[in-house]
Every structure is written in structure tokens, then in C-alpha cells.
Structure 1
Amino acid sequence: MFKFITHRSFLANLLAVVVISLVLLLVFIVALRSFTHHNQSVKVPSVKGMDLEAATRTLKSFGLEVSVEDSAYRDNLPKLSIVWQSPDAGDEVKVGRTVYLTINRAIPPVIELPNLLGLQFKFAESSLAGYGLKLGDTTYKPDFARNTVLDVLVNGQSTKAGTKIPLGTVVSLVLGQGVAQTEIPVPDLFGMRLADARIVMEANGVVMGSVVPDADVTDTAAAFIYRQNPPPVSADGIINLIHSGQTIDVYVGKQLPVRQDTTK
């Protein structure tokens, strides 16, 4: 009789332990699901262009966590605004997921101006875009190399390759106009100083070619032109013609030349 009672008590206790364990396990699973938002998901809102405070507030309101992972520079977005986000806007994610943000730098990074001289316009344009620079004005000057970069301007000043400039800087290009179809008389440069001759040639759309100084010339800009090729008039007295964009070679000396009278 005693053994039967003891045996019944043991079974009842065992059953109670099992029931209590199952109840505790069920409570744990329910609590865990509630804590981890099991099976709860949201669509990630777009926070691109927002400042960090607004982006954080927006993402938190959707039950999402925020982490700033990187920085970049975009001149078309406000400083310290959101450039990228991951996961992307519209992605469906689990509540509590971390959204990683990239913010826009307050100060643009500095880069070196690439070498554009001698490039055709389309290649120079692609190079500027690849370096994160903006194409500004394109102007033309007489030169036989049509659409070739002759000069690079930053803030209106000629700028050499390798100069450090901010990312997003506007760069203007001076291009060769090419040889024009119309012809003009060759300008007479005899007796001019080289500096003055350059002005006359530019006004006529003609390019300065080779400058050949005499042996005793130390300052070519102040030297005088005593010969040019092509000359303004041929040996038989016919006026020579030249296309805009073509070159004239000049020979310079220290002394003001005297034109010889060829009519005698």
C-alpha cells in the first residue's frame, strides 16, 4: 500500500515538472518572438538627401537601427546629407535591421588636375567626368588642330596639369578652331616686335609658328621681325593668301630692320 502511494506521488510530481517546463518554454518562445519582432517586417524608407538627424529619426520610427559607415562627396547634395543607404529604399527587411548610411562630406576632397593638353574634346570631356570635375565654357582660337585642347582654365586662369583643385571644380577648355575655308591676305609683320606681331596675328586668326632668333637675341619678345614665312607678297609681286588657323614662321633680330626697296 505504501509503495503504491509513493509511486503515485512520484508520477504526479514528474507530470507537474513536465507541464511547468512546457509552460515556461512556451512563455520563453513567445517572449523571444516579441523581443526579436519575429515575422515582423517593414519597407525601408528613403532617407537620401536628408540630414543625419532627420534620417535617424525617420528610420527609428520604422523600428530600424542606424549606423554611419562611410562618407563621400556629391556637390549636388547638401553638406552632411545622406548620399547612400543600405538596404535601399523600398527593400523589405526585418524590424530591428540596421540601415547603413553614407553621408556627404562638408569639404570636397582635393585632386590633381589631369593632363588634358593635346586631347581631342570628347576625350578631355570624358577625362573631366572621370575625375569628378565639371566642364565649363569651351572657347576656340585659331589653330590647325581642330577641337584639340590648347589650354585649360580654372577660374579664368590658365592652369597646369597636376595642380591641386577641389573635386567638382568647373574647368573650361580652349580648343583649336581648325583651318578655315576662307582665305585672307598674309599679314605683313616686317619690323614689328614679336609681342606686337602676336596681337596682329591673333586679330587675323593666324597662329604664330616657329620663332627663329639670331644668335645675339636674348629677349625674343622685344626683338624685331625681319623675315617671315610665308611672306605677305610673293617674289613676283602677288599677294599671298592664308587660311585662318594656319601658322606663320618668323625670324627675329635685335636691330630694327630696314625694308629694302625692290622697285629699283
Structure 2
Amino acid sequence: MFEFITRRSFKFNLLVAIGLMMVLGILFFALLGVITHHNETLKVPDVRRKNVNEAIMLLEKAGFEADVRDSIYLDSLKALTVWEQQPEAGADVKVGRTIYLTINKVVPPMVAMPDLEGLTYRSAEMTLRSRRLNVGDTIYRPDFATNTVLQQLLGGKTIQPGKMIPEGSNITLVLSSGTGNVENPVPDLVGLTFLEARETLNASNLNLGTVLIDAGVTDTANAFVTKQIPALRNSLGEPNKVRAGESMDLWLGPVRPVRDTIFPDTSHE
């Protein structure tokens, strides 16, 4: 065959080669529609909430390819379950198109707990979502800074910023409801231990402000309140008033004070 080609002129061989290329080109473009499934579309089946292996099998059976492109963690969803698909269910796409799946992880990854205290509710919610954490319950407590986060809880206990917790955890937010509209008499804390004073403040929906501790105190919890601001009475001997959510400053000492020398009762003078 090689001798047959060499006996022909260059011009003849060139024309033959051009003719073969044209035939191959015509065949290629004629079969292009078949190769690319031109104008052949199918509806994408809904494989969400299905196990990933079952989802892939259904997609391949329907004429699609499947590929797991991402994963998340949701405690409300079974492990290895399809959470999201692209293109979405019901879309008309070409036969053989790859459907990308996002599945739920088997083991939740650990993420660092952010510091939410002092943030507004909206900012705290966005911060949690950026870490793939969820807002759980919201508890309101009187305080000056309305609708800001006062405390962050996990499982009913305070969770410190930076602590590693499972992704998808529900974080309870204690939010400020602002100060109350009703004024109540200032509670009498002088003579109580610091632990008793804090319990009294909590029961009165008041916050603990600045705490000044005497040098002689060795056990803060059992130290005694020797002074408070606001005081029980004003300079005219009239009872001072506070609203829920306001703060009280305390002075602590190692010895229980003598009450009548600290706050003499002037109400009958």
C-alpha cells in the first residue's frame, strides 16, 4: 500500500487527504447531536432526604451523573443523607448532566464558640450561622442594653468563647429586655454574704455592678456586704428606688457590719 501511495503524484495524494478530511468532518458534525445528546433533556429527580448511595443510584438510572461536592452537619438529619442538590429537583437539563450533591456528615466537626456577649441579637445570629451553629432558645432578662446578648449557654450552662463544640449545636441566648417601667425600693444587701447578695439581686431582676473587695477578704463568696450603691435611703431619709435591669455596686469586707452604724433607720425621725 505504501508503494501505491508513493507511485502517485503529490497533488493526487494531497487531494485524497483533503477528501478524507472532509468526509470525516461531515461524519463528525452529523454525529455531534448524537454524541452531545443535542435537544435531549430530562427532569432532575428529587433526591433530597435520601441516603447518598440511593440518591446516586436513582440519578444514574435516570440518565445523570452524580458527584458529592460538599458536606454539612445537621443534628436533625441522618448521616450521609442528601441535604441539597444542584441543579434543583424538577429542572430540565441535558442527559448525562452531573448533579452535585451536598450531604450530611457522619461525625460533626468541632468549631470554636464565638464571643457573643454584647452583640445585638441579629449580629449574634449571623455570627453563629457563619460558624454553622444554630440559635436555640432565647431568654429575656431585664438590663439596660435592650436586645443585646447578656449570656451564651449550651446545655443550660455558660459556654466560654473559644471552647470547641460540635458544629450544628444549638446555642441559647440570654437577651436584654431593657429596664422595667416600675420602680421598686432598693433591696437591703448590707450584712448579707456576697453569695446571698447575688441571689437577692437575681430575685429582684437587678444586675451586679462594680464589686470592691477589702484587702482582708480571703473568701469572696462568704465575704460580707459593707456598703451598697444605690444606698437603701437617700440623704433625706427617703427610700431609694430602682428599676429591673439596673445595677448595684457592692463593697465587701471580712466582718459582718453593725447595721445601725452603717444605715441608721431615719424613717421615723
TM-score of the pair, normalised by structure 1: 0.77
> What residue is the counterpart of 1:57 in the other structure?
57
Letter of the structure 2 residue corresponding to residue 248 of structure 1: M
Aligned 8 A contact 1:139 1:175 in 2: yes
Q: Give 1:181-260 correspondences, 5 Å limit.
A: 181-260=181-260
Two-structure CA RMSD over aligned residues (Å): 3.1
Q: Deviations over 1:209-230 (max 9, x none)?
A: 1111222222222111121111
Secondary structure of 2:189 counterpart: coil
Aligned 8 A contact 2:42 2:95 in 1: no
> What residue is the counterpart of 2:16 in the other structure?
none
> What residue is the counterpart of 2:167 in the other structure?
167
Give the Cα separation in 1 of the matches to 2:36 and 2:124: 54
The answer on 1:157 being equivalent to 2:157 is yes
The answer on 1:41 being equivalent to 2:40 is yes
Q: Which runs of 5 or more residues in structure 1 are unaligned?
A: 1-20
Aligned 8 A contact 1:74 1:83 in 2: no
Deviation at 1:116, TM superposition (A): 0.3
- Residues 197 and 54 from structure 1, CA distance in 2 versus in 1: closer, same or farther, beyond 3 angstroms? same
TM-score of the pair, normalised by structure 2: 0.76
Aligned 8 A contact 1:45 1:90 in 2: yes
Deviation at 1:92, TM superposition (A): 4.3
Deviation at 1:44, TM superposition (A): 4.1
Q: Deviations over 1:134-182 (max 9, x none)?
A: 2111112332222221110011110011111222111101122322111
> What residue is the counterpart of 1:124 in the other structure?
124
Give the Cα separation in 2 of the matches to 1:247 and 1:86: 53
> What residue is the counterpart of 1:83 in the other structure?
83
Letter of the structure 2 residue corresponding to residue 45 of structure 1: V
Q: Which runs of 5 or more residues in structure 2 are unaligned?
A: 1-19
Give aligned pairs, total.
240
Deviation at 1:237, TM superposition (A): 1.7
Q: Deviations over 1:68-92 (max 9, x none)?
A: 4443434554321223444544444
The answer on 1:143 being equivalent to 2:143 is yes
Give the Cα separation in 1 of the matches to 2:100 and 2:248: 63
Q: Give 1:9-24 correspondences, 5 Å limit.
A: none
- Residues 260 and 153 from structure 1, CA distance in 2 versus in 1: closer, same or farther, beyond 3 angstroms? same
Aligned 8 A contact 1:43 1:89 in 2: no
Q: Give 1:98-117 correspondences, 5 Å limit.
A: 98-117=98-117
Secondary structure of 1:260 counterpart: helix
- Residues 179 and 88 from structure 1, CA distance in 2 versus in 1: closer, same or farther, beyond 3 angstroms? closer
Deviation at 1:66, TM superposition (A): 3.7
Letter of the structure 2 residue corresponding to residue 48 of structure 1: R
Letter of the structure 1 residue corresponding to residue 259 of structure 2: R
Secondary structure of 1:173 counterpart: strand
Secondary structure of 1:114 counterpart: coil
Aligned 8 A contact 1:154 1:170 in 2: yes
Identity rate, percent = 40
Letter of the structure 2 residue corresponding to residue 208 of structure 1: L
Q: Deviations over 1:9-35 (max 9, x none)?
A: xxxxxxxxxxxx9xxx9xx98xx7898
Give the Cα separation in 2 of the matches to 1:198 and 1:57: 62
- Residues 102 and 250 from structure 1, CA distance in 2 versus in 1: closer, same or farther, beyond 3 angstroms? closer
